[in-house]
Chain A
Amino acid sequence: MNIIVCVKRVPDTETRVRVGDDGVSIDPSGVKHVLSPYDEFAVEAALRLREGAGSGEVAVVTLGDDSSQETLRSALAMGADRAVLLKGEVSHDGLATAKALAAEIGEADAPLVLCGVKAADDDQQQVGPMLATLLGRPCATAVSSFELADGTVRCRSEVEGGTALFELPLPAVLTITKGEYEPRYASLKGIMAAKRKPLEVKDAAASPSRLKVETMELPPERAAGRIVGEGADAVPELVRLLREEANVL
């Protein structure tokens, strides 16, 4: 069975964010970019499924600019078979992204489409279920593990206070959270092989963003805190401060 994984290039989670000169996005200088962590889980899940089945193809798709080729190569190095770069504007409007992806995925012979539960930059947590809706496919979000059986996919989703089990008829879209899919490291062989794997570049079906960022700011610095004291003897004073000064007890 063929699987498509939607992946995004994002700043490394170690990044110390600074606002760029435009005032609406981060200053990219010195920022290292990576394959978004949840997308790594999704790629891992797809690879395990293909390895288990012994057949099928894992394709990775991204909407981005040329720099996203590097991100696609990292997914290829993990073991994906081919990659597609949809060249176009990446905005905070998840629906615009979902439309560009839907135009590519449309009638593709891929019964399973995987996304990350959220991208580690805009944190919008929406592209997967929007894409599913546009494609007219059922969708389960925040899936921590899943299995295929008889034209359906059974997924466990994380929800507050527990787990829900959904069964979706294929074709379907899932958004993957951490769960069981600890991503593999790309081997040297994988990295070498990735250079020769097909990477197709085409223009994205353009959808303008209707979500406008007016300003981006850093959160106010937290006022420097205070060390109340050392060891258990400091506890009564801490409790007093929490009650009388912070009013939280």
Chain B
Amino acid sequence: MKILAVVEQREGALRGVSTEVVTAGAELASVAGGEVDALLLGAPDVASLASPLGEAGAARVLVAAHEALAGYHPDGYAALVSEAVRDGGYELVLFAATSQGKDLAPRVAAQLDVPLAQDITGLSVTEGVLRFVRPVYAGKAFTRITIEGAPALATLRPNVFQGSAEAGAGEVVELSTAVDPTGWPTQVVWFEAAGCDIPDVAEASVVVAGGRGMKDPEHWHLLEDLRAALGNAAGLGASRAVVDAGWRPHGEQVGQTGKTVAPRLYFAVGISGAIQHLAGMRTAGTIVAVNRDPDAPIFKVADYGIVGDLFEVLPRLTEEVTKLRAGS
């Protein structure tokens, strides 16, 4: 099977989820026979990012390098990816289910006239038939699906595909397609970083989330301290109640009308565990709840719970985690 993994870079650095996508492709290729190529779009020097993709399992790294591709451009990226898929005769095209991947993949699907499975959490092949697992109803159920027609397109939920694969040759191949930004109607005016360099809640491998029990946005430093103690891969999340109250940005909201997350470890602090919140985080690896109400529904999904006042528990937790990490 010929597989293409469309990878992401931002400001000249590969995004972590890119290697997950390449490795997932390589794992599948090793079962089904075949190879995975990576497709990397970026600034003129972007080929310098190719070697980790080879290590992650890519046989070839197709590169489109141009000033106009330095940042994500929906029109330009969609046209180039569609063309690379057609030219390469790929049977399966994988993207990361990030905001970029979920914006790009549907455009490519419509250009190629093939269906798309967004945000999959499972991928397998048996007797040549590809199967995808997709959560629906915000994770309250999941579907096993097949796609008619080739290529099959899917975006992979971050943090879920944690396999390993043998390194590929990672041979760099420049795409020959001409890049002509004059034909792209959309103007990308700017990208503004949220003013912090912590990972987004949807991609963080550890999430510290707070709810209305935090009482006041001024208290968020307690969560931030715990997050910082947990290391660089930890991000912040929030319930809808605190987002609606304007305490936290919508980008941090976890749940049915926010983000669906699957971190290795999720802390729910002062969050009651409404069905819409649980929908967004119930596939987390380990869930820890801190709540003073022993009957809070969050305890039904939590692996470990502490019943108590979060204002006492949080500082102690930060202290113990800091101690532990300093010692290890």
Contact = CB atoms under 8 A, between A and B. Distances in A.
A122 B294 CA distance: 34
A215 B200 contact: no
Nearest to B231: A249
Nearest to A227: B305
Contacts of A166: 74, 186-189
A218 B144 CA distance: 11
Contact of B141 (A19, A129, A140): A19
Contacts of A190: none
A240 to B, nearest CB: 9
B193 A246 contact: no
Interface string B93-109: 00000111011011101
B110 A95 contact: yes
A125 interface: yes
A64 interface: no
B81 to A, nearest CB: 12
B320 A214 contact: no
Given A13-B279, A234-B308, 16 more contacts: A13-B257, A26-B137, A37-B257, A95-B116, A124-B118, A161-B193, A162-B193, A164-B191, A166-B74, A212-B146, A216-B143, A218-B141, A228-B304, A231-B313, A242-B288, A249-B324
A191 interface: no
A38 B258 CA distance: 10
Contacts of B253: 178
Interface in A202-235: 209-219, 222-232, 234-235
Interface stretch (B49-57, B164-172, B295-303): B295-303
Contacts of A140: 74, 186
Interface in A85-143: 92-96, 98, 120-130, 132-134, 138-142
A197 B324 CA distance: 65
Q: How large is the interface on A (under 10, 10 to 19, 20 to 34, 35 or more residues)?
A: 35 or more
A133 B78 contact: yes
A92 B194 CA distance: 34
A169 B185 CA distance: 7
Task: Please classify the interface of chain B as helix (H, G, I), strand (E, B), loop, or mixed, using the class held by over half of its residues.
Answer: mixed
Interface in A149-163: 154, 157-163
B250 A158 contact: yes
Contact of B109 (A122, A130, A234, A249): A130
B264 to A, nearest CB: 6
Contacts of B140: 15-17, 218-219
A53 interface: no
Interface in A1-44: 11, 13-17, 19, 24, 26, 37-38
A227 B282 contact: no
B10 to A, nearest CB: 8
Contacts of B114: 95, 210
Contacts of A179: 250
B141 to A, nearest CB: 5
B110 A133 contact: yes
Contacts of B286: 242, 246, 248
